[in-house]
A and B are shown apart, each in its own frame.
Chain A
Amino acid sequence: MTETTTGATGALLSATALRKTYGATAALDGADFQIRAGEIVAVMGPSGSGKSTLLHCLAGIVPPDEGQVHYQGRELSGLSDAERSALRRGAFGFVFQFGQLVPELSCVENVALPLRLTGVDRKTAEGRAAEWLERLEVADVARKRPGQVSGGQGQRVAIARALVATPRVIFADEPTGALDSLNGERVMELLTAAARDTGAAVVLVTHETRVAAYSDRDVVVRDGKARDVAGMAGVA
């Protein structure tokens, strides 16, 4: 982790006054958010509070109706689809409740996918993917397809895939939602440890305080607004 360009506030990724409605329902209603490089922030809130929408807006997957999202000083809504896709390939990583792995590819191929999309040759990409699988203790499932592995193993493969391109930010949406508590804890240990090792920031959406305990800071989303529970300590 060498590049540390941040915005004026020192945040790697920031959002201001985000508003997003689905039909008549306001999912976000003036939400603000900031995260620094290497920081792990848990976004909490009850079901339907808008926490996943906030994550999607922050990752540039869903455009907000109003407000702005800045990554390293660049406004995401001003980027083209190809530029936002490039961000997802190189700077962002994703771990969702269900791994979103490609069932046709083996686990190692799934992990290598972001690298291969950036033009890395197969051998190198799969070599690096194998290292990550090893690190996340699922090297034994490398040649298996996602349908042939357990939920916990699948999530570790997804984390490996999220980390393989050494992203600056990892977006994790309920990463342990489909796992039992033992597996969930192990997955969180591995995710946070790997993120800290690589200096990646983690936006962790969860409704479980047990999971949120792995974060540096908690943000609660309620009625479309994000409130910093522990304050923005350390953010200039």
Chain B
Amino acid sequence: MSAGTRVPLGQWARELLLGARFAVSGGRAGWTRTLLTSFGVGLGVAVLLLAASVPTALTAGDIRKDNRDWASSEEVEKAEHTVLLSWVYTEFRDETVSGRELQAEGDPDKAVLPPGVDKLPAPGEALVSPALRDLLDTEDGRKYLQPRFDGLTITGTVGDQGLSGPSELLFYSGSDELEADSGHVWRVSGFGHSEPSNPLSVALVALVVVMLVVLLLPIAAFIATAVRFGGERRDQRLAALRLVGADNAMTRRVAAGESLVGAVFGLALGSWLFLLGRSQARSIDLYGIGLFPSDIAPGFLFTLLIVVLVPACAVGVTQLALRKVVISPLGVAREGVDRGRRLWWRLATLLLGVVLLFVLGPRFSGGGADIWLLAGSVMLTLVGVTSLLPWVVERVVDRLQGGSLSWQLATRRLQLNSGLAARAVSGVTLAVAGAVALQMLYSSVQREDERDTGMDTGQADVTVYSGVEGGSDGERLAGQIRELDGVRSAHGYLTGEAVHEKTRVNEYDVRESVTFTVADCPTLRYLLKIDSCADGSTYFALDPNLPKDERPKVPAAGDRYDLRADPEKARPENPDWWTVRGKVEQARVGQDASGSQAPYGLYTTPDALAPERLGGEAAAHVQVRMVADGAGRADGVERIRNLAPITDPSFSVQELRSKAQSDEFTVLSNALMAGSVLVMLLIGGSMVVSTLEQLRERRRQLSVLVAFGTKRSTLGASVLWQTAIPVGLGLTLATAGGLGLGLLLLRMIGGGVADWWAFLPMVGMGLAMIALVTLASLPALWRMMRPDGLRTE
């Protein structure tokens, strides 16, 4: 057959099948090799399918949330099917437990139902999410959460379609006490409402893009490594084929057929692993990200790409590997060994990535083509850094001399062929370089994203707000809190409404009231911007934003306020008059410990106005000091929350934190942690596989050395050196490359370096992984050192 002759399709198929035959025959060794490849590709495919499911996974929960939401701004007329709804929530151990009280306005059987609810719960009954049911069944839940649910009988669970995810803590309870006109009650005629979501900031977009590249690139590298498992044996096999008359093109087709089998098995295994993991999704809660199995659905296009690209990649990598090998009928010779590895294309790749990032720099808009440009340039930079590794390893090991026998064995072996070792480490280098850059970006964005909450943790650890019937209830609440375990001190102030005796009924048929705040002097000094305070002092804080004609009259000595007045009644009935005594000083308001602005109105001390006289819609604000950090403190907070039923909308407990982060950032941070764990597990697995593969290739040499009388410890040390040298170089390169990439990314988002040493945990993780991989491969090493390995001929 002359060169350039078209090869019949049948011959193609025959040669591909012959290759496939090689992949599945060859006894235990052949199967082991194919299984290793399939396992490697399978792990990669499983992660790729998982990554392809991210868009659905991210939106599925939101869609279900939208489906159970209601239009809170719409005016809805009462009807047979309308329900009154009150939204309540509490926290338990930093997790939110939210609930909706429902009350049919007409026939309960005709009432609209939220998704996941089959029947409106009757008053006193509740439907809970499975996660909440399980939580309430735990000892901790029974002790510290159940008291809030006392009075509610759990009669069933909320269906999956009504939950954002399997770990959501949600309940629906029935009520007969909701009133349509109350501030916290909505009339709902149907469920399903979508609010536009806030777009991510440029920095967060950059973080997301870099995160995806950094997490997915090692997977691609891993697949490329996996399809090269058993490369040396394959080359020898192809040489035998050449001897019996296969030409170069035939051997390439046979090799393609062989690698296709590993890739196709890998696809099948990966799909199975993915489906297995997916079926367990409900029980997996990685850093708060819980999903239903149906949420993890890779898009059709992504799936198609994976199904086509993975085998194509396997064939491509094999063909690339074969380009460096001359397979003659007499055996195999590697090209370019004498010439040494070329530096130019490695540097060119790196430089192209760096230049693109530099040019993109502060122009990055966070959308459109910029996203692809950023992904491409980060990919080029990381690939450039990683591709330098084989060159660096080759140059460095060439200069290594002398040393102990184990060192000598290791360095000579590396000098002979450093490519295999460098390739095995390239996944770690890629992952660590990416992780270092990502960590730098992450720390900087975290610092930028962190905002002051305005909460004053120097003043209180927890604030409690509760509507009370009168001032004495407020006192009682503070006393109850003080009695709880875990609480060090509790004191607070009361607010209530009173009406000036001369206030007239306005156009809305109400008399405007004034907020009264009764607190001791230290608290008043905190709430108001005043220089001095004495028992009996009275202050008035005017809202400067009110138009002049609407501003209330500043009270003067002798003015009278009705503490029991109902503002909706034109005249006081059974009034409880409080008379202003002494001078009323004007003051400006400050903030309370929770960062909320103190109310405008009249402020005085208990000496001037006994708290129990405040009636009607009074509220207690209690500032609580907890014991030092620890379980006692956390339990104490839950005990405070248990002072009121979960359905009491007027009772809220807030733990004060001086810093807070946006929800998007928290989700990203969780996703990053979950992704890093997966990638590290994958790389660890791949390294074990490739180390075993290397050992298998060298079984005979190891046996020969043992037969000579070489100590096992010497060989063990030499294997360790052989891993440690490329790993050391890889981690150094990864750190330098990662820091450089990190700086370029920070320049792009205009951020600064938050922590120069942020790379240390990544490098530590890399080192720990190497140690684990070496430990995991030791048993196989000992087995292969047996002299019977000599029988491999």
Q: Mark B230-263, 1 if CB is under 8 A from A, else 0.
A: 0000000101111111111110000000000000
- Interface-lining segment among A24-32, A98-106, A197-205, A211-219: A98-106
Given the known interface contacts A61-B328, A62-B330, A116-B14, the answer about A82 and B25 at a Cβ–Cβ threshold of 8 Å is: no
Tell me the complex Cα distance, A94–B248, Å. 18
Q: Does A64 contact B (CB under 8 A)?
A: no
Q: Does B3 contact A (CB under 8 A)?
A: yes
Given the known interface contacts A56-B330, A104-B30, the answer about A86 and B1 at a Cβ–Cβ threshold of 8 Å is: yes
Tell me the complex Cα distance, A141–B241, Å. 21
Looking at A61, A101, A104, A105, which has the most chain B CB atoms within 10 Å of its CB? A104
Shortest Cβ distance from residue A51 to the other chain B in the assembled complex, whole angstroms = 14
| A-side contacts of B244, CB under 8 Å | 88-89, 94, 113-114, 117, 161
Whether the pair B247, A86 counts as a contact (CB closer than 8 A) is yes
Q: Does B582 contact A (CB under 8 A)?
A: no
Q: Mark A98-133, 1 if CB is under 8 A from B, else 0.
A: 101111110000000110111100000000000000
Q: Does B329 contact A (CB under 8 A)?
A: yes
Q: Does B651 contact A (CB under 8 A)?
A: no
Given the known interface contacts A56-B330, A88-B243, A117-B244, the answer about A83 and B2 at a Cβ–Cβ threshold of 8 Å is: yes
Tell me the complex Cα distance, A219–B10, Å. 44
Looking at A88, A103, A105, which has the most chain B CB atoms within 10 Å of its CB? A103
Closest A residue to B8 by CB, please name it.
A119
Q: Does A145 contact B (CB under 8 A)?
A: yes
Given the known interface contacts A89-B245, A101-B240, the answer about A83 and B250 at a Cβ–Cβ threshold of 8 Å is: no
Tell me the complex Cα distance, A82–B1, Å. 6
Whether the pair A61, B3 counts as a contact (CB closer than 8 A) is no
Whether the pair B22, A85 counts as a contact (CB closer than 8 A) is no
Given the known interface contacts A100-B243, A101-B240, the answer about A119 and B21 at a Cβ–Cβ threshold of 8 Å is: no
| B-side contacts of A102, CB under 8 Å | 22, 237, 240-241
Q: Does A66 contact B (CB under 8 A)?
A: no
Tell me the complex Cα distance, A102–B27, Å. 12
Tell me the complex Cα distance, A118–B244, Å. 10
Whether the pair A100, B245 counts as a contact (CB closer than 8 A) is no
| A-side contacts of B55, CB under 8 Å | none
Q: Does A90 contact B (CB under 8 A)?
A: yes
Shortest Cβ distance from residue B65 to the other chain A in the assembled complex, whole angstroms = 56
Q: Mark A69-99, 1 if CB is under 8 A from B, else 0.
A: 0000000000011111111111010101010
Interface residues on A, range: 20 to 34
Tell me the complex Cα distance, A118–B14, Å. 10
| A-side contacts of B14, CB under 8 Å | 116, 119
| B-side contacts of A56, CB under 8 Å | 330
Shortest Cβ distance from residue B277 to the other chain A in the assembled complex, whole angstroms = 33
| B-side contacts of A46, CB under 8 Å | none
| B-side contacts of A118, CB under 8 Å | 245
Q: Does B11 contact A (CB under 8 A)?
A: yes
Tell me the complex Cα distance, A116–B250, Å. 12
Whether the pair B3, A82 counts as a contact (CB closer than 8 A) is yes
Shortest Cβ distance from residue A62 to the other chain B in the assembled complex, whole angstroms = 7
Tell me the complex Cα distance, A84–B245, Å. 8
| B-side contacts of A94, CB under 8 Å | 243-244, 329
Q: Does B18 contact A (CB under 8 A)?
A: yes
Given the known interface contacts A61-B328, A101-B240, A114-B244, the answer about A82 and B249 at a Cβ–Cβ threshold of 8 Å is: yes
| A-side contacts of B249, CB under 8 Å | 82
Given the known interface contacts A80-B2, A113-B241, A116-B18, the answer about A104 and B26 at a Cβ–Cβ threshold of 8 Å is: yes
| A-side contacts of B18, CB under 8 Å | 116
Given the known interface contacts A86-B1, A114-B245, A116-B14, the answer about A104 and B22 at a Cβ–Cβ threshold of 8 Å is: yes
Given the known interface contacts A80-B2, A104-B30, the answer about A85 and B245 at a Cβ–Cβ threshold of 8 Å is: yes
Interface residues on B, range: 20 to 34
Partner pick for B330 among A61, A87, A114, A119, CB 8 A cutoff:
A61
Give chain B interface residues in 737-792, CB to chain A under 8 Å: none
Tell me the complex Cα distance, A101–B25, Å. 14
| B-side contacts of A84, CB under 8 Å | 247
Q: Does A48 contact B (CB under 8 A)?
A: no
| B-side contacts of A92, CB under 8 Å | 245
Partner pick for B3 among A62, A80, A105, A114, CB 8 A cutoff:
A80
Partner pick for B237 among A89, A104, A114, A161, CB 8 A cutoff:
A104
| A-side contacts of B3, CB under 8 Å | 80-82
| B-side contacts of A59, CB under 8 Å | 329
Partner pick for A88 among B21, B26, B237, B245, CB 8 A cutoff:
B245
Give chain B interface residues in 1-55, CB to chain A under 8 Å: 1-3, 5, 10-11, 14, 18, 21-22, 25-27, 29-30
Given the known interface contacts A61-B329, A113-B244, A116-B14, the answer about A104 and B1 at a Cβ–Cβ threshold of 8 Å is: no
Tell me the complex Cα distance, A116–B237, Å. 16
| B-side contacts of A147, CB under 8 Å | 27
Tell me the complex Cα distance, A236–B207, Å. 83
Closest B residue to A104 by CB, please name it.
B26
Q: Mark B328-348, 1 if CB is under 8 A from A, else 0.
A: 111000000000000000000
Tell me the complex Cα distance, A90–B246, Å. 11
Closest B residue to A121 by CB, please name it.
B14
Q: Mark B74-87, 1 if CB is under 8 A from A, else 0.
A: 00000000000000
Tell me the complex Cα distance, A151–B248, Å. 29
Shortest Cβ distance from residue A210 to the other chain B in the assembled complex, whole angstroms = 24
Closest A residue to B3 by CB, please name it.
A80
Tell me the complex Cα distance, A191–B10, Å. 34
| A-side contacts of B21, CB under 8 Å | 104-105
| B-side contacts of A81, CB under 8 Å | 3, 247-248
| A-side contacts of B248, CB under 8 Å | 81-82, 85
Shortest Cβ distance from residue B338 to the other chain A in the assembled complex, whole angstroms = 12
Shortest Cβ distance from residue B790 to the other chain A in the assembled complex, whole angstroms = 14
| A-side contacts of B247, CB under 8 Å | 81-82, 84-86
Shortest Cβ distance from residue B264 to the other chain A in the assembled complex, whole angstroms = 18
Whether the pair B1, A117 counts as a contact (CB closer than 8 A) is no
Tell me the complex Cα distance, A117–B241, Å. 9
Closest B residue to A162 by CB, please name it.
B244
Tell me the complex Cα distance, A72–B746, Å. 72
Partner pick for B246 among A61, A117, A119, A161, CB 8 A cutoff:
A117
Tell me the complex Cα distance, A108–B11, Å. 21
Whether the pair A82, B330 counts as a contact (CB closer than 8 A) is no
Tell me the complex Cα distance, A198–B11, Å. 28
Shortest Cβ distance from residue B328 to the other chain A in the assembled complex, whole angstroms = 6
| A-side contacts of B5, CB under 8 Å | 82
Tell me the complex Cα distance, A88–B245, Å. 4
Closest A residue to B239 by CB, please name it.
A100
Whether the pair B246, A85 counts as a contact (CB closer than 8 A) is yes
Tell me the complex Cα distance, A113–B785, Å. 35
| B-side contacts of A80, CB under 8 Å | 2-3
Closest A residue to B30 by CB, please name it.
A104
Whether the pair B245, A86 counts as a contact (CB closer than 8 A) is yes
| A-side contacts of B246, CB under 8 Å | 85, 89, 117
Closest A residue to B25 by CB, please name it.
A104
Tell me the complex Cα distance, A98–B331, Å. 12
Given the known interface contacts A90-B245, A117-B246, the answer about A82 and B237 at a Cβ–Cβ threshold of 8 Å is: no
| B-side contacts of A113, CB under 8 Å | 241, 244
Give chain A interface residues in 43-64, CB to chain B under 8 Å: 56, 59, 61-62
| Residues in chain A within 8 A of chain B (CB atoms) | 56, 59, 61-62, 80-90, 92, 94, 96, 98, 100-105, 113-114, 116-119, 145, 147, 161
Smallest CB-CB A-B distances: 10 pairs: A89-B245, A85-B247, A104-B26, A88-B245, A82-B247, A104-B25, A114-B244, A80-B3, A104-B22, A61-B329
Seed contacts A81-B247, A94-B243, A104-B21; 14 additional CB < 8 Å A-B pairs = A80-B2, A83-B1, A88-B242, A88-B245, A88-B329, A96-B243, A102-B22, A102-B241, A104-B22, A104-B26, A113-B241, A114-B244, A119-B11, A145-B25
15 residue pairs from A and B, CB less than 8 Å apart? A61-B328, A62-B328, A81-B248, A82-B1, A82-B2, A83-B1, A86-B1, A92-B245, A94-B244, A103-B26, A104-B26, A104-B30, A116-B18, A119-B11, A145-B25
